[in-house]
Amino acid sequence: MPITKGTKLAKGDKAESKKQSKLCARSSIAKKTAFGNENTNCVECGNLVLKSQIGLTCDVCGFWHHAKCEKVSDEVYEFLCDHSDDASLAWYCKKCVVVSNKLAIATAEICDQQQQMDLIVEHLKSDMCGKMEQMKLEMQELRVMISTEF
């Protein structure tokens, strides 16, 4: 059902109208109003995401998706619409969720490896300082030995 202003709706259509009126409420859902432009095809099914359909754009890849194709419930969609002004709230498509999770895991592993390397470097630094101190003492002893012989 297309969104129209000023049209009286039958009682049964009011709930659908409320849902449709939120279609352009969220920045990553439909505020971009790219309908009719390029890249408005749903990545899942390949069909256009029309104004009369509930569509979302992924905050990572920026591609359009039908809410049904992504299995986004009406409750989740309503929540996203109701919190459209919250910049900390993002919606990721299924594919980007997988990639983002893998990236988060890889980042955590790199962080762990960095911490291990920091410990190794700190240990090497400590060893090197100890050896430098030992060499300093040995040099002093050698100087004393040389000065007493001459």
pLDDT tens digits, 107-150 = 999 999 999 999 999 999 999 999 999 999 999 999 998 988 77
1 within a domain of the structure (yes/no): no
- Give the range of the structural domain holding residue 146, as residue numbers without chain letter: 97-150
* Backbone dihedral angles phi then psi of residue 42, each to the nearest 5 degrees: -65, 130
Domain count for the chain, please give it.
Answer: 2
What average pLDDT score do residues 59-85 get?
91
Q: Do both 30 and 88 map to the same domain?
A: yes
pLDDT tens digits, 73-95 = 999 999 998 888 888 889 999 99
3 within a domain of the structure (yes/no): no
